[in-house]
Amino acid sequence: MQSITIHVENIGPVLLEKSRRARRLSISVSAGGRVRVAIPWRQSFQDAQKFVLLKHHWIEKQLRKLNNIQRKKKAMLASLRRLDNTEAKVMLVNRLNLLAEEYGFHYNTISIRNQKTRWGSCSTRNNISLNIKLAVLPAKLIDYVILHELMHTRIKNHSKTFWQTLDVLVGNAKILAKELRDYGMALD
């Protein structure tokens, strides 16, 4: 037998699966709330069940995080459906121009698109791309994403210098980055 599914209170079904690649017991929680435990061949299903009970609170926390992200995404998409795309594009371009002027940034071109995985990006030629979905985020997160991409016109990586310089503009950039991740996409 290579896998079994157990039911764990407050978690639901948990797949326990033997893996030739696993070097230790590990738990993954994926979209849709699926919980899987990879078990090295030398360990038993009983060891895995004990491991799940030991990590019960961690699994619950991960499931809550995923539910929170899903809830925020649904609310964001509902808001986006009510939003006029032209108004959203104008607002984002105006905000980009205002922040670029205020902080002395220069960029080449701007594009606003409906992207699935990124909030924004900045090319090596300083072309900035922003996701239309930004328009429904809180203002501080919109500004954070725009300033993050504008900062890439000067510093092309995520070095310590990049984060320190961005912190001067937005406060604690790492906290804003974490808050942005709760909406389920990434920055470049």
Asked which of 59, 80, 101 is the last residue of a domain, the reply is 80
Q: Which domain holds residue 167?
A: 84-181
CA dist., res. 103 & res. 181, Å (int): 25
95, 133: one domain:
yes
Asked which of 80, 95, 112 is the last residue of a domain, the reply is 80
**How large is the C-alpha radius of gyration of the chain?**
21
89, 74: one domain:
no
Residue 185: band (very low, low, confident or very high) from pLDDT cuts 50, 70, 90 = low
Domains held by the chain: number: 2
Pairing relationship of beta strands 12-19 and 34-40 according to DSSP bridges: parallel
Asked whether 109 and 128 are in contact (CB, 8 A), the reply is: yes
pLDDT at residue 1, as a whole number: 63
Q: Model confidence over 37-87: pLDDT tens digits? A: 999 999 999 999 999 999 999 999 999 888 887 887 777 777 767 777 788
Asked which of 55, 80, 105 is the last residue of a domain, the reply is 80
Q: Model confidence over 133-184: pLDDT tens digits? A: 898 888 999 999 999 999 999 999 999 999 999 999 998 888 998 888 877 7
- Can you give the CATH number for the domain in which 158 is found? 3.30.2010.10
pLDDT at residue 99, as a whole number: 96
Edge-first strand listing for the sheet containing 26-30: 3-8, 12-19, 34-40, 26-30
166, 89: one domain:
yes
Within a domain: 188: no
115, 39: one domain:
no
175, 90: one domain:
yes
Asked whether 136 and 83 are in contact (CB, 8 A), the reply is: yes
60, 9: one domain:
yes
What H or E segment, with its residue span, contains residue 61?
Answer: helix 56-82
Closest CA to 130 of 62, 185, 60, 75: 185
